[in-house]
Amino acid sequence: MKYNVQIDDAMRVVELLQLDDGLHVSVDGVGVEMDAEILQPGLLSLRVGKRSYHCWLDETPQGRRVVVEGRRLAYSVADPRQLRRGAHSGMEGGVAQMKAPMPGRVVNLLVQVGDAVEAKQGVVVIEAMKMQNELKAPKAGRVVRIHAAAGDTVQSGAVLVEIE
């Protein structure tokens, strides 16, 4: 799965491939030896090649930031498949499907069928590459279906939750 990642003014294409021997990462077409682990919410241990970094993640109304080696960098991540469908892609009305961004394991469901959710509210936690990611609601609405349970292994693109 490819992602467009913007860090400050630099745009990079990051590709994650699930192969038999594990997850492979490339940045702008160049393979990168990498390992990551969430030490606690907002604190990530990242190994790139032979170097290790502690990264502090911060999300504010002004945007997302990561602090690495004393540098505060703005970042955003976009799935190019979503960009091709258009900015609103069914978010205004109808059912929004929350899909697994990569293969992984569902760690926790933060909602139940019938729950009202706000846009950007945490809905499901998925673990991939030793990192836990909280997936957030793409819009305000009500949870109408849940397709996974805690402990389930899911493939990239699998529908996890539907919000109407």
Q: Does residue 102 share a domain with residue 74?
A: no
Tell me: the pLDDT tens digits for 133-142? 888 888 899 9
Q: Check which CATH number belongs to the domain holding 61 and give it.
A: 3.30.700.30
Looking at the structure, do residues 9 and 71 belong to the same domain, yes or no? yes
Confidence of residue 88 (pLDDT cuts 50, 70, 90): very low
* 73 in the same domain as 7: yes
Shared domain check, 52 and 72: yes
**pLDDT level of residue 65 (50, 70, 90 thresholds):** confident
Q: Are strands 71-78 and 104-109 parallel, antiparallel or unpaired?
A: unpaired
Same domain, 91 and 75: no
pLDDT of residue 83: 45
Biggest CA-to-CA distance, the chain:
48
Q: Burial-class residue 3 by CB neighbours within 10 Å (0-12, 13-18, 19+).
A: middle
Q: Where residue 85 falls among pLDDT bands split at 50, 70, 90?
A: very low
Do 123 and 60 lie in one domain? The reply is no
Look up the pTM and report it: 0.48
Q: What is the mean pLDDT of the chain?
A: 82
Residues 110, 157 within the same domain = yes
| Same domain (yes/no): 99, 132 | yes
Q: Which one of 46, 80, 114 terminates a domain?
A: 80
Q: Which residues contact 67 (CB under 8 A, 6 or more apart)?
A: 55, 56, 58, 73
Domain count, the chain: 2
Last residue of a domain, one of 29, 51, 80: 80
Domain enclosing residue 26, as ranges: 2-80
Nearest Cα neighbor of 134 from 52, 59, 75 is: 59
